[in-house]
Chain A
Amino acid sequence: MSRITVGLAGNPNVGKTTILNNIAGKNLKVGNWAGVTVEKAEVEFTYNNYTLHIIDIPGIYNLTATSDAEKAAVQFLVDGEIDVIVSVLDSSNLARNLLLTVELMELEKPTVLALNMADEARSKGLELDLGKLKTILQTDACFTVANSGEGIDELLDKIINCFENSHDPAKLKYSENVESVLTTAAQKSGQPAQSKYDAIRALESSEQEASEAERTLGVGITKAINDERWKLASSIAKSVTASSKVKEKSVSNKLDRVLLHPFMGIAIYIALFYLMFKISFDFSAPYMDWIDGFMNNFLATASSKLLITLGVPDVVTRFVSEAVIGGVGFVLTFVPLVAILYFFITFFEMSGYLPRIVFMMDRFMHRLGLHGNMMTPLLLGFGCNVPAIMATKNMSSKKDKILVTMMIPFMSCPARLVVFAFFAFIFFDNPALVIVSLYGIGVIVALITALLLRKSFLKGKAANFLLELPPYRLPSLKTVSRIVWAHVKRFIYKAGTFIFLVSIVVWVLLNLPPGIKSADESIAARIGKTITPVFEPIGLSDWRATTSLIPGFLAREVVLSSMGIIYKTSTEDSLREKADENLAPLLKEQAVELWESIKSSFVSVASLGFSTFEVETSDEGSEGLRETIQKSFTASSAYSFMILLLIYNSCVATVAIMIREIGRKASFLFLGYSFVAAWLLAFVFYNVSNLLWP
């Protein structure tokens, strides 16, 4: 079986990753803006007896790179082992896209063209003559619609065909003057160039040859070649475009008139941001309530009953009830919130709105000595800090890259949100407002950090700003659901693996040394009590809170599972009672409540009020988890706890990617800084709020 290495190359945002996802059934990150993919991603699969090794390459406009992502892309295209280059083009913008195709063809490697976004070209009224295009460029080509999969099989066949007949890749011809300059230079140097690309680079890098060429051509060689490429690209585009009744981009223009308005645009953005949280909370709260009830009232009882009936030792039954249901189950309660939040984030990233905000924010950022290019990674940080830090590969200045990397961890992610949501729901009347205030504090701390760095270690001026605004695109519900589901799966997987492991450790430490009468005497409690003095000034004097913080330094959600376990274990529940419960009525009750939840989720979104988690008092006198936690905190200590989690960079995945991108020393310095900043801020908030609302 032959193995074919295929490189997907093209302008940013033409659908390269979407093609790869479609071919290989993957879920690599896509979005409607330029620069989503920042490092090459590879997949391998079998097709018609061939092993296709397909590589998605970050988008580029030409082979002159300015950022890390572009440099990696260009280097791979020029020097990498690629059997077939697939030049992916946006069919609705052929002239501009062909410019890169022409430059790619200078590499003289086997090439196939994928004219993607054929649907958009059609709806614009463009008719393209594929046959003519193939004849002019002497390369195979086909139309594709990566979203729907149209043309993908044909593309694969063409790739294989190209590989099998790749002995003599097409060679471009520029104007006679340019060709003769290139030939003369190659003859003089004595070594024949491997490709036109090599010949051009050799000529550009030899000062003497370059100035001689300039004398002959009347302009610099780089400019002359650029002009040649452009002339060729635009003349090809013109001759293959059959129809002229092209429709205006009227929808995008109209939307931009409002969304890019200096004041209205910003106001709309803030309103949308707030609305996103409000709807997320209102819609998900009833479901979370239901899952919580289901776990504690039904699942805990049912599993205890089953285990007791089976004669399993009490310690195992307790483990399942406290660590598995109390810890992992507690985190899973938040799945509805995570899902709906990712729904909005995905919609936002796929719609084309993101680069507009980046543009709007440049004005403000510029005043602070920062610039709009920094905004994309920062906005991505709201989805997850890890890909956000990766996105700094799009920046051309090393200093800016470090600066932004040190701002990103203050952008609150959904993992933090679930913790905030829990506290906001039980301690505050308007949870959405509390959350938005926390996001705001994160942004302010990020800006202060950036200003401090700009004034000290990372002096420099704001870089140039250059950005393409893609057309608005309405993502299909299918695409959005698929992406959301991938995020939700990751959340659940993490709960079942990483969080589960940590839960075991926490639970074991809560039950050691053997024979203790209450969790208060456990090793976990002792550790918690040792560090409590550090957190007492910020209002955290309960060892259960501080102990939960320790594993929480691995990932934020772990704070919740740990709290679930610690607070549950420390309030003793009688297992034996559960064995006597009758499950049938309990199950019926759950079904009724689920129906109620569905109804109230839609009602609460429609109304303007806020839904809150109800803190139920159970009849038997044993306290519910929320109630126990409510007694352990005050509103101000809960807020200070949230600030600590917001600001301190407590996520191993983020730290790991930081180390990879900006080095160990800077990352650990930052970690220290973020802890001190978090503590100080929490201290101020806690004490001020105690003064104001004693």
Chain B
Amino acid sequence: MTLSELKQDAEAELLGSFSNNNPHINKVEAMGLRSGAKIVIRKIHGRNIVVQVKDLGVDLVIDKELAGMLEVS
């Protein structure tokens, strides 16, 4: 399952990304969305998702296309 398929308030753990060497995904990971991160979907708004990385306390907005490249449990 990918991050883009999660519903509002869903909690999950990130497993990794489907992309290899996409600079945007590299950035997503450097922002804290990387394998092992426990996340919660705080809001879905149009094409965007507000994800909270629980262990970091960081809130990120990511569009569904990018989110579709991230695998979650």
Q: Chain A residues in contact with chain B, CB under 8 A?
A: 61-62, 64-66, 92-93, 95-96, 99-100, 124, 220, 222-223, 226, 230, 246, 249, 252-253, 256, 260, 262, 359-360, 362-363, 366, 372, 464-469
Contact = CB atoms under 8 A, between A and B. Distances in A.
A514 B54 CA distance: 77
22 contacts: A61-B27, A64-B26, A93-B57, A95-B32, A95-B56, A96-B32, A96-B58, A99-B30, A220-B20, A222-B26, A223-B20, A226-B34, A246-B57, A252-B59, A260-B45, A359-B50, A363-B47, A366-B47, A372-B48, A372-B61, A465-B61, A466-B28
Contact of A92 (B21, B32, B48, B57): B57
A466 B30 contact: no
A61 B61 CA distance: 15
Contact of A62 (B21, B27, B58): B27
B17 to A, nearest CB: 9
Nearest to B63: A465
B42 interface: yes
Interface in B44-69: 45-48, 50, 55-63, 65-66
A261 to B, nearest CB: 9
Interface residues of B, number: 30
Nearest to A99: B30
Given A252-B59, A262-B45, A464-B63, 12 more contacts: A61-B27, A62-B26, A62-B27, A66-B23, A95-B56, A230-B34, A253-B42, A359-B61, A464-B24, A466-B61, A466-B62, A469-B59
Q: Is the interface of B mostly helix, strand, loop or mixed?
A: mixed
Contacts of A465: 47-48, 61-63, 66
Contacts of A65: 23
Nearest to B43: A260
B11 interface: no
Contacts of B57: 92-93, 124, 246, 249
Contacts of B10: none
A246 B54 CA distance: 11
B30 to A, nearest CB: 4
Interface of B: 20-21, 23-24, 26-32, 34, 42-43, 45-48, 50, 55-63, 65-66
A253 B9 CA distance: 12
Contacts of A467: 60-61
Nearest to B53: A96
User: Which of B21, B28, B57, B65: most chain A CB closer than 10 A?
Assistant: B57
Contacts of B26: 62, 64, 222, 226
Contacts of B34: 226, 230
A466 B27 contact: yes
Q: Which of A124, A253, A256, A466 has the most CB of B within 10 A?
A: A466
B30 A360 contact: no
Contacts of B48: 359, 362-363, 372, 465
A253 B46 CA distance: 20
Nearest to B69: A464
A338 to B, nearest CB: 33
- Closest 10 CB pairs between A and B? A363-B46, A61-B30, A62-B30, A469-B59, A465-B63, A467-B61, A96-B32, A64-B26, A359-B61, A66-B23
Given A220-B20, A223-B20, A61 B31 contact: yes
A11 to B, nearest CB: 9
B49 to A, nearest CB: 10
A393 to B, nearest CB: 16
A92 B42 CA distance: 21
Contacts of B23: 64-66
Contacts of A469: 50, 59-61
A360 B45 CA distance: 8
A93 B58 contact: yes
B71 to A, nearest CB: 14
B43 A256 contact: yes
Nearest to A365: B46
Given A467-B60, A468-B59, A363 B45 contact: yes
A262 B45 CA distance: 7
Contacts of A100: 30
A674 B8 CA distance: 44
A65 B62 CA distance: 18
Contact of B45 (A93, A226, A359): A359
A372 B48 CA distance: 10
